[in-house]
Amino acid sequence: MSGIIDHSQRMNQENEVPFLPEEIIFQILIRLPAEFLYHCGKYVCKTWREIIRDPRFKERHLLFSRSSVFIQESYESFDASFIESEEGEVRVKPLERQFPGQMLASCEGVSLFYYHHCLDFLYIVNPVTKKAIIIPFPSLIHVAWIGYFRMARIPHTGEFKVLCRCKDQNVRFHWLVLTVGTNATWRRIDTIPGEDSIDLEKEVCSLVSVEGVVYCATIGIAGVGRLLAIDLRDETIHNIIMPYGSFNGLIEMRKNLYCMMCTLEYFEGGGTYVMKELEIYILEDLHSSRWIKVYEIETNMEAEAIWFRGFWPVAYLDDGHMILRIPNGDKHSFVAYDLKTREITAINLGIVAPNVIVIYKSSLASW
């Protein structure tokens, strides 16, 4: 009998979890992937479960979640991959399962999908927690305009909002916004003078969501750029003056908006203009259109073809890599540009013609 008791006591001692202050456990858990925390971590013990369910923990965990680029092939197959970086190496991770529909936008781990079966419908989902909600399709929009959806998470309130650009029967464009988790109705945001005249189908070249504001860049035939800031915090629209130069794209980096401007030079051998110098600016103040130059890159056309063919910024990964899309006829290729070493690495996607490119991060966020 005593042997059984001794064996039981030894087993209990072996199964005891060493004591750690709750703050240390908290700091360890916020560095673990959201998938592990939701599917495994919360079942380890009561202390872990209470920490993981704490809204403050979910908020802090977002700060440590790493961004990746979600790339989807087509409307029919929905095959998708992630471009991600780890320890300075950029790699492509094919997704084993198909996503239910086409991802239109994502913000802080909550994503917007469009699905066409018998009827068109939109739904919001956190792919980690599987929490989902169907939202109505805007009455003014046509399926051809699904590329003009963006999501934003409002700082301080944690609300998720969906922004949509659509047109009415008079072919006038409007911005519509919906707050996720409320009465799920679309409401119109007042435009600014002259904004209705923009032909979005031809001129919109970049839509970027940063800290509750969606920035919409347009470019005219003469190369003159225009930047609108749709502030979803108070649902107003502002006109921002761009830095001087030839516009080359917007990108979100470290929760700030960056604008790329380039200097072009005529290349007689190719009979076209090529990029001579690339400048990257950060938007310091939305209301005063104040920009600060943070990077200046002299291009080497002979060494790297991207300076000759041009590129479009896709995303910034947390380790310092920018993912760039390079036009190549009807197709596009992708490279990773290291802002520190200025090295360029080709990315082999294994996808013929990706038509969905969304910045994504896993999280426990909800609405």
Over residues 300-336, the pLDDT tens digits come to: 655 555 555 567 888 999 888 999 888 766 667 888 9
The domain in which residue 332 lies consists of 65-360
Q: Residue 224 contacts by C-beta under 8 Å, 6 or more apart in sequence? A: none
- In this prediction the pTM is 0.84
Number of domains observed in the structure of the chain: 2
What pLDDT is stored for residue 205 in this prediction? 74
Nearest Cα to Cα of residue 219 among 196, 259, 248: 248
On whether both 102 and 54 belong to a single domain, the answer is no
Whether residue 315 is contained in a domain is answered as yes
> What sections of 185-263 are H helices per DSSP?
200-203
What pLDDT is stored for residue 360 in this prediction? 93
pLDDT digits (tens, 9 = 90+) for 345-359: 888 876 556 678 899
On whether both 293 and 253 belong to a single domain, the answer is yes
Whether residue 367 is contained in a domain is answered as no
On whether both 337 and 300 belong to a single domain, the answer is yes
On whether both 22 and 167 belong to a single domain, the answer is no
Which domain CATH number covers 25?
1.20.1280
Residues of the chain with confidence (pLDDT) below 50: 14-15, 143-144, 201-202
What pLDDT is stored for residue 300 in this prediction? 62
Residue with tokens 């920490």: 51
Alpha-carbon distance values, 134 to 130, 182, 294, 344, 363 (Å) = 13, 12, 42, 41, 20
What pLDDT is stored for residue 101 in this prediction? 82
| Domain end call among 11, 28, 59 | 59
Which domain CATH number covers 328?
2.120.10.30
What pLDDT is stored for residue 186 in this prediction? 92
What pLDDT is stored for residue 143 in this prediction? 46
- Name the phi and psi angles at 263, rounded to 5: -100, 125
On whether both 27 and 127 belong to a single domain, the answer is no
| Domain end call among 16, 41, 59 | 59
- Would you tell me how many other CB atoms lie within 10 Å of the CB of residue 186? 19
The answer to whether the CB of 337 falls within 8 A of the CB of 295 is: no
On whether both 134 and 40 belong to a single domain, the answer is no
Residue with tokens 């239109």: 104
On whether both 153 and 201 belong to a single domain, the answer is yes
On whether both 192 and 284 belong to a single domain, the answer is yes
Q: Residue 279 contacts by C-beta under 8 Å, 6 or more apart in sequence? A: 243, 245, 260, 261, 262, 263, 293, 295, 296, 297
Whether residue 366 is contained in a domain is answered as no
Whether residue 54 is contained in a domain is answered as yes
On whether both 149 and 188 belong to a single domain, the answer is yes
What pLDDT is stored for residue 296 in this prediction? 87
What pLDDT is stored for residue 351 in this prediction? 58
Whether residue 195 is contained in a domain is answered as yes
Whether residue 365 is contained in a domain is answered as no
Whether residue 251 is contained in a domain is answered as yes
| Domain end call among 40, 59, 78 | 59
On whether both 24 and 85 belong to a single domain, the answer is no
Residues in the chain: 367
On whether both 27 and 156 belong to a single domain, the answer is no
Whether residue 331 is contained in a domain is answered as yes
What pLDDT is stored for residue 58 in this prediction? 95
On whether both 11 and 70 belong to a single domain, the answer is no
